[in-house]
Every structure is written in C-alpha cells, then in structure tokens.
A = this chain, B = another copy of it.
Amino acid sequence: MTATAELVLEVGYAATSIGAVAARAGVGKDTIYRRWSGKAELVYETLFTQTETAPVPDTGSLAEDLTALLEALLEEFTAPAAAAALPGLLADFAANPDLQARIRTQFLAPAKERLVAVFERAIQRGEAVPGVPVDLVLDTLAGAIFFHVGLVGERPGPELATQLAAVIGQGIEAR
C-alpha cells in the first residue's frame, strides 16, 4: 500500500500498474492479486479507507457530528494522492460491473456504519426521528463530495463540510 500511494503520486493513477507496485514493493504480482482484485480496489483501499478506524464523532449535536464526519471525508478525498487518483478510479468503478456491485456491500459499508451510529444517537436525543433514509443520506453526501472533487475538479474549502452538514442535518431533523 505504501508503494501504491507513492506510485499514484509520482506517475498518476493511469500509469500506476500492479506490475509497478509489485516491483517497488519487492513482491510478485500474485501476492498482490491474492488480496486485491486489481488496481482500482488496491488504490481504493490504500487511499480511501483512512477515516474508517477513527472514533465515530459524538459531539452531542447531529449537525456537528455530520460536520466532523464530512471534514474527515473531505480531508481524505483532497489529499494529493487521493485527488490525483479519483477521476481515474471513478471511471474504473463505473466501467466494472463487479466493482459496482460491491460499492454498497463492501466499499461504502464502513461509512454507512458510522452514519448509522451518528443517527442512532440523534434519534435518542430526539433530534431526528427513526426511519432516517440512511442510504439516501449517504449517497447524497458521497455524491456531493464526488461531484466536487471527482467531476468538477474543485478543491472544496472547509465550509463545504459545515454547509452540507447544516442542510442535511436540518433536512432530517425531527420537527
């Protein structure tokens, strides 16, 4: 994974290959294919699963918890290697039905768990009502970030997390 991160930064996503990663890591390609289905999955795990081990935010406020989750995601997505890899990575995911089929069940599952934990606490506090459409909120937040970083190629400022959390937080509040 260190070799992968270095290569993406040095030569870009398109020019990074399993062969080059194997050579730099001093292992055979088989060793890599034993754990990852290919370049897209290897790069995804290397660059986009950093926030998953951090504690789930618990500030006592739905909007602030969402802001904290989004700030961590934005930081991950705008890191130089991640921003460089994202357009090519999205294209590979979009073109590969096997990867697409695993987006919800595998790649997004940890992010969904974190959102569910935040929503459950908001429901206990009476801030949100049960039945929050978690998948919809996750797609909406992820979509907004992908749209900025992966499609429009904008580097979002820190206000994006706050604004997005405010709109979505108010959007699912109990009233």
Binding site for B on A (CB under 8 A): 86-88, 90-91, 93-95, 97, 100-101, 103-104, 133, 136-137, 139-140, 142-148, 150-153, 160, 163-164, 166-173, 175
Interfacial chain B residues near A101, Cβ < 8 Å: 153
Given A88-B91, A88-B94, A140-B140, 6 more A-B residue pairs with CB atoms under 8 Å apart are A133-B163, A139-B147, A140-B167, A143-B145, A167-B172, A171-B171
Q: How many copies of this chain are found per oligomer?
A: 2
Which listed residue, B100, B147, B171, touches A146 by the CB 8 Å rule? B147
Give chain B residues whose Cβ lies under 8 Å from the Cβ of A94: 86-88, 90-91, 150-151, 153
A164, B140: Cα distance in complex, Å: 8
- Residues in B neighbouring A160, C-beta threshold 8 A: 136
> Complex Cα distance A98/B163, Å?
28
Given A95-B87, A136-B163, A167-B171, is A151 in contact with B146 using a C-beta cutoff of 8 Å?
yes
Interface SS of chain A: helix
Closest to A93 in B: B151
* Cross-chain pairs A/B with CB under 8 angstroms, 23 sampled: A87-B95, A88-B91, A88-B95, A90-B91, A90-B94, A91-B95, A94-B151, A100-B153, A104-B152, A133-B163, A133-B167, A136-B144, A136-B160, A136-B163, A136-B164, A143-B144, A143-B147, A143-B148, A166-B171, A167-B171, A167-B172, A168-B171, A171-B171
**What chain B residues lie within 8 Å of A100 (beta carbons)?**
151-153
